Amino acid sequence: MPVAQLIDLDRRAQMATIFASAFQDEPALSYIIPDPTERAVRLPSLFHLLIESDDKSGLQYMTEDGAAAALWRRPGQARLGWKEMLSQARPMVSALGPHLVRALRVSHAMEQRFPTTPFWYLHYVGCERSRQRSGLGAEVVRAGLAHVDGYPIYLETADPDNIPFYEQLGFSITSHWRTFPGGPSFWSLLSNDAVGRL
């Protein structure tokens, strides 16, 4: 399946729909927005904001049929700067509503686990739920891997079922940790060539 770097607005809307579907039952977002019906309503708006943010500081890839997509953030761009946070404050409140504080707590805990040296951040990978486990997610990640070099690649996942997927793409677990008491837990992974160097 051909993969293209994403640039137009219509494709970004399609990408937000993909991620909202793929992450509907993801543990961290389920913690942030506990009610599944409300989560289904809020996630498209949330991912639209994340896609817009990553477009300014990274790379976006999607299969031509719009079934799978990946977001990357460039070295030095994994953390949101204050200027970007302020520009997104109002739309983020709209997207998350009463769940904003939970989201900020989880996001802050995740950032505390980032490597201390520059790295590429594989921010999100998603595939339409009906087509998961078909190889499309791997294809869209490989499209990004072909264009990032010179720095380690880092990601985290809150879903242990995702770990074999990333391991087959050349990542290894470096730690398993909990955000805070009662919060979601994550696995941190690094590209194999970087394990032991950070």
pLDDT digits (tens, 9 = 90+) for 130-152: 777 778 889 999 999 988 888 99
16-55 pLDDT, tens digit each: 999 999 999 999 999 999 999 999 999 999 999 899 888 7
For residue 67, pLDDT over 60 is answered with yes
pLDDT, mean of residues 78-85: 67
Q: Residue 56: pLDDT band by 50, 70, 90 thresholds?
A: confident
- Report the CATH number at residue 53: 3.40.630.30
Structure confidence at residue 130 (pLDDT) = 74
Contact 37, 24 (CB under 8 A): no
For residue 89, pLDDT over 70 is answered with yes
pLDDT, mean of residues 2-23: 78
Domain that holds residue 167: 3-194
Contacts of 189 (CB under 8 A, 6+ apart): 154, 155, 156, 157, 163, 166, 171, 172, 173, 174
State the residue for tokens 């921010």. 123
Structure confidence at residue 40 (pLDDT) = 96
106-115 pLDDT, tens digit each: 999 999 999 9
Q: Strand 153-157 to strand 120-127: parallel, antiparallel, or no bridges (unpaired)? A: parallel
- Edge to edge, the sheet with strand 68-73 lists 3-5, 58-63, 68-73, 120-127, 153-157, 185-191, 171-178
178 vs 104: CA distance, rounded Å: 15
Count the domains in the chain: 1
Q: Strand 185-191 to strand 171-178: parallel, antiparallel, or no bridges (unpaired)? A: antiparallel
